Amino acid sequence: MAEKTVTKLHREPLFHIVKRDDMVWWKAWGIRAITIVVSIFVMVFISSLLTGKGMIQTFEIMYRGVFGRIETGSFKMLFKYFEEVAILLCLALALTPAFKMKFWNCGAEGQALMGGLGAMVCMIELEGKLPLAVLIPIIAVVSIICGAVWGVIPAIFKAFFDTNETLFTLMMNYIATQIIAYYVYIKGGGSNVIQPVEAGIAPSTGNAHYFINAGIVAVLTLVVYIYLKYSKHGYEISVVGESQNTARYIGINVKKVIIRTMLISGAVCGIAGMLIVSGIDHSIRTASVGGQGFTAIMMAWLGQCNPFITLIMTAIIVFLNTGAGKVADSCHLNSAFADIFVGIVILCVVGCEFFIKYSVKIRGARKGNKE
Amino acid sequence: MTKQPAIELKNITKRFGAKVIANNNVSLTAYHGEVLSILGENGSGKTTLMNMISGIYFPDEGQIFVNGKEAVIASPKDAFGFKIGMIHQHFKLVDVFSAAENIVLGIDGGKYNLKKSTEEIKKISEQYGFDLDPEKKIYSMSVSEKQTVEIIKVLYRGADILILDEPTAVLTPQETAKLFDVLRKMRDDGKCIIIITHKLHEVLSLSDRVSVLRKGEYVGTVNTAETSESELTEMMVGKKIDLNIERSDPKDPQDRLVVKDLDCINRDGVAVLDSISFTARSGEILGIAGIAGSGQRELLEAIAGLQHISQGDILYNDPKSGKTENLRDKTPVQIRDLGVRLSFVPEDRLGMGLVANMDIVDNMMLRSYSKGRSAFLERKAPKDLAMKIIKDLEVVTPGASTPVRRLSGGNVQKVLVGREIAASPTVLMVAYPVRGLDINSSYMIYNLLNEQKEKGVAIIFVGEDLDVLLELCDRIMVIGSGKITGIEDARTVTKEQIGLLMTKTGEEE
């Protein structure tokens, strides 16, 4: 044998990435929870650096900004918070079946706007002509149909021509916005604003609409959960989402499932639009949904197709968004601060998925180290 | 002449994650001028070990010596620096490039001179007896030609240690013989050849020594001349195994499925099946042999109602009613509604037969979930079925609610075959049912098929291992380029005859 050369060549890479085995569920959720808490602390720390206020004080501003003074018996802010959560959750719930099918519906904004438009048309045209008991079901049916139609168009194209659903649903948003703009232009006269109408599924004043909106969405959460987990439709959605080949093999009509699921997704978006237009605003404008259709994409994704996790995520994000907005307001920061705040927290949560799936090993640490 | 060690591995360990130990404390030596076989079942860590020599993985522990010196091989480029070249199971070639272009691709330094390179390639071809046209494009090549390109690619880069990962998996018997001749010539030229395989007869016919791995552990090395098939199997599996497959004579065979003049055209307008006619009889196993991609998949999918048929008929004779149904242009659901009990174990187990992310219970439901009028799922019966299959087929799993992707290949296949058999089929189609399975699981599948045969099921078995087809089946149908090139009696036909039939139409075109 040749002479022994004892030159140790340390050319092993500095670190390498190793795929983990499946993590125990509580550990994975622990990591996610810690990520959220830590990223919030970091962002609060950064805001206190920017504003000169202490961290506790910043937390207080956020808390007060969201919940107001509950201890004095004023629940209005709390109710408002629930309602905001409800609307965003409703949109996220709408996306959940589609996402489970791996159909990336980015059109919640447009589908909700169209649902809202349906409600608005009914409210304006039928106000005073029909009793409320008749009008409300009509509003509901029309807005559900409007949302469903807007959702099913990309699905039909996807099913029969294999178009890209992400772009298609996204573009449908802009068409919806323009239709709303046109409608407002016609109905609003010169002012380009539609004056609120009295009729609707809930009165715009008082506290009733908070409960109605939150109640409807609470029921919806349960319905979507049961639909996905225990119904045959839900099972078909999972199979199509996981493997279209398997779906074909066992004789599921993939086209039918895509179209049916998007009808449902669009319909629930339509409900969200109805809640906004006919439950809260009693009017419509192009910004009625206010970008929540896009935030909902993130919420549905973070919820991992489980409506209850989506609920928790939505509650956290709405809290942060409102709270950070208040911090920006009261400390004269740019209004984009809230978006940055929430954006970074979401980014951290998404990023932590990497560490749940993989672990990073540093050079030299391998010997003697059990991990 | 004492042989010089080319590669020495000392106490190599490689882990994936915390639980999976792919290689544990493996030490072995390969010499110049010899063919060393690395033998082991699927999942025994053969490929992982070789990947560490060729720089794709880095060992967690242990040392590699090349020509007596310790070597750190951190990338495939390093491996080439040590004159090590690996030919992978799945070829890594650019389809639209010619052979010569693929061979010179990615070589650093020197001027790009295709003419000069072509000359060199021709020289290498002549030296070892390869048959290759350097100007031929990859897309117009057969599998064996592509493999030749891969081998010349590493030789061109000056490799004198060659590692071949399951090189014969995709070859016909004739092509295999040719490859072995070439490899012997290289060995006589002083090169070190390492081949990874799980086929015993290849080991015995080609190699000088055999190193056996079992479940990541190094079992031992023996001289080929001093060993036998049964000894090697024992080393591989850890216990004695009877390698004979039972074959009973078909009882009262009746025509169950008659396929007549079947034509199929795929999406690109290429004819994938061309006037296929055959009959599958009850109580009989009909084997289908052929080079991969000759239309086997399309044929089974056409029968199962998954592939559009442009011409021809698929006639099913119902054993109960005696009626004949034409399955042509029927969807899987319609076929099921006709009362045709057709089970199908597809080639792509996790991508077609099962849903990888679903648990065993939900996978059991795939066939039966739509039964009944309720809008909700009924999970009781599938759960019982899952428990029964886990128990009867000895599926190794933490439980019925484990996603099937976490099971090993053999257990995945048991779940799939178990489900398909549970539907008590009259026709059972299986595509490559033992691919990637260890010996024990393979024999369990053969036994299950034989049981079904006894029950009078008509079985269609698409296989790749000709030895198995010859031992298990009653008749063998050979397909080449979408045409039937022969239907032979499996008890009398030889492997070579089947091999010739496999390439028959391919060469005519």
Question: Between residues 244 and 273 of chain A, which touch chain B (CB distance below 8 Å)?
Answer: 245-246, 248-251
* Interior angle at CA B457, CA B453 and CA B460, nearest 5: 85
How far is Cα of residue A315 from the mean position of the Cα atoms in its chain?
11
Question: Between residues 105 and 164 of chain A, which touch chain B (CB distance below 8 Å)?
Answer: none
Closest residue in A to B376 (Cα) is A231
> Contacts of residue A232 in chain B, CB cutoff 8 Å?
369-370, 374-377
A320 φ/ψ angles, rounded to the nearest 5 degrees: -65, -40
When the pLDDT of each residue in chain B is averaged and rounded to a whole number, the result is: 88
pLDDT, position A13: 64
Residue of B14, B52, B306, B355 to mutate, testing the A interface (most A Cβ within 10 Å of its Cβ): B355
Asked if the model's pLDDT at residue B252 lies above 90, the reply is no
3-class secondary-structure state, position B131: coil
pLDDT digits (tens, 9 = 90+) for B5-16: 899 999 999 887
Instruction: Indicate whether B242 belongs to any domain.
Output: no
Instruction: Indicate whether B277 belongs to any domain.
Output: yes
Task: Give the closest-approach CA distance of A232 to chain B in angstroms.
Answer: 5
Residue B32 and residue B144 share a domain:
yes
Residue B191 and residue B108 share a domain:
yes
Residue B276 and residue B168 share a domain:
no
Q: What is the ipTM of this complex?
A: 0.82
Give exposure, A3-31, as e/b (b: 16+ Cβ within 10 Å).
eeeeeeeeeeeeeeeeeeeeeeeeebeeb
pLDDT, position A11: 55
Q: Are A5 and A318 in contact (CB under 8 A)?
A: no
User: HSE on the CB side for B495, CA within 13 Å?
Assistant: 15
What are residue B66's DSSP bridge partners?
B7, B69
What is the spatial order of strands in the sheet that B255-265 belongs to? Answer: B271-281, B255-265, B311-317, B324-326
Instruction: Indicate whether B347 belongs to any domain.
Output: no
Instruction: Indicate whether B349 belongs to any domain.
Output: no
pLDDT, position A118: 96
Helix (H) or strand (E) holding B46: helix B46-53
Contact check, Cβ <8 Å, A21/B5: no
Task: Give the closest-approach CA distance of A259 to chain B in angstroms.
Answer: 18
> Contacts of residue B355 in chain A, CB cutoff 8 Å?
238-239, 242-243, 246
Residue B442 and residue B377 share a domain:
no
Residue B290 and residue B166 share a domain:
no
CA distance B142 to B506: 9
Q: Residue A242: which of B61, B355, B377 has the nearest Cβ?
A: B355
Average pLDDT over residues B251-258: 90
Residue B204 and residue B305 share a domain:
no
Residue type, B27: S
Instruction: Indicate whether B87 belongs to any domain.
Output: yes
Contact check, Cβ <8 Å, B19/A2: no
pLDDT digits (tens, 9 = 90+) for B337-355: 888 999 999 999 999 999 9
Structural tokens at position B224: 């080929």
Given CB atoms, is A366 within the 8 Å cutoff of chain B? yes
Q: Are B208 and B36 in contact (CB under 8 A)?
A: yes
DSSP sequence for A278-320: IIIISS--TTSSTTHHHHHHHHHHHTTT-HHHHHHHHHHHHHH
B9 φ/ψ angles, rounded to the nearest 5 degrees: -110, 135
Contact check, Cβ <8 Å, B377/A232: yes
3-class secondary-structure state, position A174: helix
Structural tokens at position B434: 């033992």
Last residue of a domain, one of B202, B237, B272: B237
The DSSP code for A231 is: B
Average pLDDT over residues B357-365: 94
Q: Residue A251: which of B61, B336, B377 has the nearest Cβ?
A: B336
pLDDT, position A200: 80
pLDDT, position B481: 86
CA distance A114 to A274: 9
Residue of B331, B334, B352, B430 to mutate, testing the A interface (most A Cβ within 10 Å of its Cβ): B352
Q: Which domain holds residue B307?
A: 255-341+425-508
Structural tokens at position A369: 């180290």
Residue B134 and residue B31 share a domain:
yes
Domain with residue B332: its CATH number is 3.40.50.300
- Contacts by A360-365, CB closer than 8 A, 24 or more apart: A360/A15, A360/A16, A360/A17, A360/A18, A361/A15, A361/A16, A361/A17, A361/A18, A362/A14, A362/A15, A363/A10, A363/A12, A363/A13, A363/A14, A363/A15
CB atoms within 10 A of CB B102: 23
Structural tokens at position B40: 């082991």
3-class secondary-structure state, position B96: coil
CA distance A142 to A123: 11
pLDDT, position A370: 38
Residue B181 and residue B36 share a domain:
yes
Average pLDDT over residues B505-509: 46
Last residue of a domain, one of B182, B208, B237: B237
CA distance B243 to B235: 14
Last residue of a domain, one of B365, B390, B423: B423
Residue B415 and residue B429 share a domain:
no
CA distance A165 to A95: 13
Residue type, B172: T
pLDDT, position A8: 44
pLDDT, position A9: 46
Report the number of distinct structural domains present in chain B.
3
pLDDT, position A247: 95
Q: Which residue has the tokens 């199962």?
A: B304
pLDDT digits (tens, 9 = 90+) for B281-293: 999 999 999 888 8
Average pLDDT over residues B167-190: 88
Count CB pairs under 8 A between chains A and B: 90
Task: Give the closest-approach CA distance of B353 to chain A in angstroms.
Answer: 6
Task: Give the closest-approach CA distance of B154 to chain A in angstroms.
Answer: 24
Which is more confident, B140 or B19?
Answer: B140
Sign, Cα dihedral of B406, B411, B413, B416: negative
In chain A, which stretches have pLDDT less than 70?
A: 1-13, 363-371
pLDDT digits (tens, 9 = 90+) for B469-478: 999 999 999 9
Given CB atoms, is A369 within the 8 Å cutoff of chain B? no
What are residue B165's DSSP bridge partners?
B196
> Contacts of residue A367 in chain B, CB cutoff 8 Å?
61
Q: Residue A12: which of B58, B333, B362 has the nearest Cβ?
A: B58
Residue A79 gets the label, from left (phi > 0), alpha (psi -120 to 50) or beta, of alpha
Which residues have a Cβ under 8 Å from the Cβ of B220 and sit 6 or more positions away?
Answer: B211, B212, B235
Structural tokens at position A197: 């109408």
pTM over 0.90: no
Structural tokens at position A162: 């294999």
> Contacts of residue A233 in chain B, CB cutoff 8 Å?
375
Q: Residue B370: which of A20, A232, A367 has the nearest Cβ?
A: A232
Among B428, B431, B434, smallest CA distance to B342 is for B428
CA distance A320 to B421: 55
Average pLDDT over residues B155-159: 88
Residue B138 and residue B35 share a domain:
yes
CA distance A275 to A145: 14
DSSP sequence for A114-164: HHHHHHHHHHHHHTTTS-HHHHHHHHHHHHHHHHHHHHHHHHHHHHHH---
pLDDT, position A229: 94
pLDDT digits (tens, 9 = 90+) for A54-77: 889 999 999 998 998 888 878 888
Q: Are B449 and B441 in contact (CB under 8 A)?
A: no
Residue B260 and residue B319 share a domain:
yes
Q: Please, which pLDDT band fits residue B41 given cuts at 50, 70 and 90?
A: confident
Q: Residue A235: which of B68, B352, B365 has the nearest Cβ?
A: B365
pLDDT digits (tens, 9 = 90+) for B53-95: 988 888 888 889 998 888 888 888 888 889 999 998 888 889 8
Residue B440 and residue B326 share a domain:
yes
Contact check, Cβ <8 Å, B72/A11: yes
Asked if the model's pLDDT at residue B322 lies above 70, the reply is yes
Residue B124, judged by CB atoms within 10 A of its CB (0-12, 13-18, 19+), counts as: middle
Task: Give the closest-approach CA distance of A257 to chain B in angstroms.
Answer: 14
Question: Between residues 197 and 236 of chain A, which touch chain B (CB distance below 8 Å)?
Answer: 230-235
CA distance A356 to B476: 50
Which residues have a Cβ under 8 Å from the Cβ of B322 and sit 6 or more positions away?
Answer: none
